[in-house]
Chains A and B, each alone.
Chain A
């Protein structure tokens, strides 16, 4: 694992282990409308605009070419070969363990710890996509070094980039909610943590996650080491959701700074470019992520999924070293 697969291993993988049945139905069913892309030499997907009218053709292609990496478009096209006649696109959220802004592991690449943190984040995002946005039809993919949430509800597949970026900001908690609300009687101060519903609730959950994963090495705009240390010192108050107490300990101004800092880090929990790009290609589930020798895998049960068991191809276990 985490070691590049050799050409020999790739062959072994596609010819002995991989099965076309592992390509999820949500891709197989519309295969003729998708664009495929391949990376044959490990230098990026430059063999693009490929189209397969049936799964069988895809199977033959992968068996014979055993590519370094395989991708398919999130978009459906009338003419996928020219990326023309855009019909709709999956709504995608890409959480790469390496790019999570607050990681407790401190590793240079990815490791078990940050992969788990990525999984935890993904769980939170999925809850919001379901509970708030009411999306039902989604697939979770382990990408090899993180996770892809691929939503295929009809209601969202036609949306443009602007709405997608707002969805993204909503689910990651990228903006500090307002704290002044008014009704006919006057203006009231309401902190995000005292509002048990809507966006403020999502934000509170994300901030809580952020605060519990801060380390003294975390870098937040406008937050100095002293403040960071105090937050770490008092964060156990949040285990019982004692937000008011926590805020008092930190001080209201400094509290503002810390939630603002976390809000802006939240923006990079998910790779925004992937979510707003209607013509992205994403790693094909079931294909091999050769760089790290792991299988890109659809996850049926996020609770029990363990990448180190469920996404490791056989050839890795057979390696000598």
Chain B
């Protein structure tokens, strides 16, 4: 049987493991024979190079991240190198390394950081892949168990998934809903829809529409959410205790391994990725041009703060954000913030001044909100030390523009088939 904590380290079982074996931070750099032995005994694991085998807990933490980075960058991903990550034999070590990882990130970077987001995503992918490696019966069984463990009642209401829906981790449209309940079990499904599905291979339709997949999706997303919450709680405790130097050190290493990922992307594979370069105003989409002229009617704040600020900063600093699918901080791409301060902010402030009435005249606090959308917290000055207190907002989609900012979207030919104004700009930049 697969231990529950192999999939959900935050389960009671997982917590118990940590309580029993994981308490001593001073020893996590010590060579761990049990770990080495366990990993070496895994058949599918490549042991041709000693470096493939984690020697202690910290090593294991780093390997986890290397797996994530290499898999994502796809350049030299080699499953055999990481096979141990998918074998339940390592559960005990795995759980402890999970906690070390979350604590390190929580202590040093906090829940809104790029590191935290990467760790949460990593955990989600790890679970997904682990489940895929299981044989069907095991997979169904463990999913069921975890589900029951995570959700105490018999039926789940969709409103209980509101957090996941709100953060777009689950789409309402992927859920089969009836009277407010999320239908997951085959029996429930038959009972609720027998008239509709009777003559239409009910089992097949169940497997296609619901099956295990929705359940897995829900447990994966819930565990991701719980991981995020855990990192947050670690971070919040920081106000009362001194950060542990060991954890800080590990956090530094984590960050370094993660930044490799960016380098892979940065090197661009020659597939027409747009490189960061000074803005070419002529190539901007109609909605942005319009916003730059200033807003004369209502909705000034939204347009300047939520729409223009993310767009201009990404278009100038990190135009390939959606393609790369990696979140960065402004300082990852503009280390001394020179470009941000000298090129981007002046453009935003100019547009704000062109509004009528000029935005900052009656709403000076919006300057702070602009900084917040760039990831620098709620402060009137753009300072590196505040970076990460908020996240760098990604540019709004065309759909959102149309929904929230009436009159701004005046599509032209290039807009056809475009879902985000930033892609409009990139497309123009590539073909100019």
State the A residues within 8 Å of B (CB). Answer: 131-135, 155-156, 159-160, 162-163, 165-167, 169-170, 175, 177, 181-184, 188, 190, 195-199, 267, 272-273, 276
Contact = CB atoms under 8 A, between A and B. Distances in A.
B173 interface: yes
Contacts of A156: 159
B172 A199 contact: yes
Given A132-B178, A163-B166, A190 B208 contact: yes
Contact of A198 (B162, B175, B180): B175
Given A156-B159, A195-B209, A131 B178 contact: yes
B418 interface: no
Given A155-B159, A195-B205, A196-B197, A162 B166 contact: yes
B403 A196 contact: no
A272 B403 contact: yes
Q: Tell me which of B173, B181, B208 has the highest count of chain A C-beta atoms within 10 A of its own C-beta.
A: B173
Interface string B181-224: 10000000000110011001000110111010000000000000
A184 B171 CA distance: 22
Contacts of B176: 197-198
Q: Tell me which of A160, A165, A188, A199 has the highest count of chain B C-beta atoms within 10 A of its own C-beta.
A: A199
Given A134-B158, A196-B193, 5 more contacts: A181-B209, A198-B176, A198-B177, A199-B172, A199-B174
Contacts of A183: 204, 207-208, 211
In the complex, the 9 A-B pairs of residues with the closest C-beta atoms, listed nearest first:
A134-B180, A196-B196, A183-B207, A181-B208, A198-B176, A155-B159, A199-B173, A134-B179, A162-B166
A199 B174 CA distance: 8
B246 interface: no
A197 B180 contact: no
A163 B162 contact: yes
B207 A135 contact: no
10 contacts: A159-B159, A162-B167, A169-B172, A175-B173, A183-B208, A184-B207, A196-B196, A197-B176, A197-B193, A198-B177
Interface of B: 136, 157-159, 162, 165-168, 171-181, 192-193, 196-197, 200, 204-205, 207-209, 211, 402-404, 406
Contacts of B162: 159, 163
Contacts of A165: 403
Nearest to B406: A273
A184 B213 CA distance: 10
A175 B21 CA distance: 50
Contacts of A167: 172
A197 B197 CA distance: 9
Contacts of A184: 136, 207
B208 A162 contact: no
B403 A267 contact: yes
B208 A188 contact: yes
A248 B178 CA distance: 31
B408 to A, nearest CB: 13
Main secondary structure of the interface of A (DSSP, over half): mixed
Nearest to B139: A184
A157 B159 CA distance: 11
A170 B197 contact: no
Contact of B172 (A170, A181, A267): A170
Contacts of A132: 177-180
Nearest to B198: A196
A96 to B, nearest CB: 14
Contacts of A170: 172-173
Nearest to A170: B172
A162 B161 CA distance: 13
A177 B172 CA distance: 11
A186 to B, nearest CB: 10
Nearest to A188: B208
A162 B165 CA distance: 8
A132 B118 CA distance: 35
A155 B180 CA distance: 10
B165 A198 contact: no
A197 B196 contact: yes
A56 to B, nearest CB: 35
B390 to A, nearest CB: 17
B402 to A, nearest CB: 8
B191 to A, nearest CB: 12
A83 B168 CA distance: 29
Nearest to A177: B173
A183 B208 CA distance: 5
Given A155-B157, A163-B162, A131 B209 contact: no
A162 B396 CA distance: 13
A197 B209 contact: yes
A260 B173 CA distance: 16
A198 B175 CA distance: 7
A166 B207 contact: no
A159 B157 CA distance: 14
Contacts of B402: 267
B172 A166 contact: yes
A188 B159 CA distance: 30
A133 B207 CA distance: 22
A67 B380 CA distance: 42
B175 to A, nearest CB: 7
Nearest to B210: A198
Nearest to A203: B173
Contacts of B181: 134
Contacts of A197: 176, 178, 192-193, 196-197, 209
A198 B209 contact: yes
A175 B419 CA distance: 14
A196 B159 CA distance: 23
B272 to A, nearest CB: 26
A304 to B, nearest CB: 26
A99 B213 CA distance: 39
A66 B314 CA distance: 52
A160 B167 CA distance: 11
B279 to A, nearest CB: 29
Nearest to B405: A273
Contact of A196 (B180, B200, B208): B200
Q: Tell me which of B159, B178, B196, B404 has the highest count of chain A C-beta atoms within 10 A of its own C-beta.
A: B159
Contacts of A166: 165, 171-172
Contacts of A188: 208
Contacts of B173: 169-170, 175, 177, 199
Nearest to A135: B180
A177 to B, nearest CB: 7
Contacts of A196: 193, 196-197, 200
A267 B403 CA distance: 9
Contacts of A182: 208
Contacts of B136: 184
A258 B11 CA distance: 48
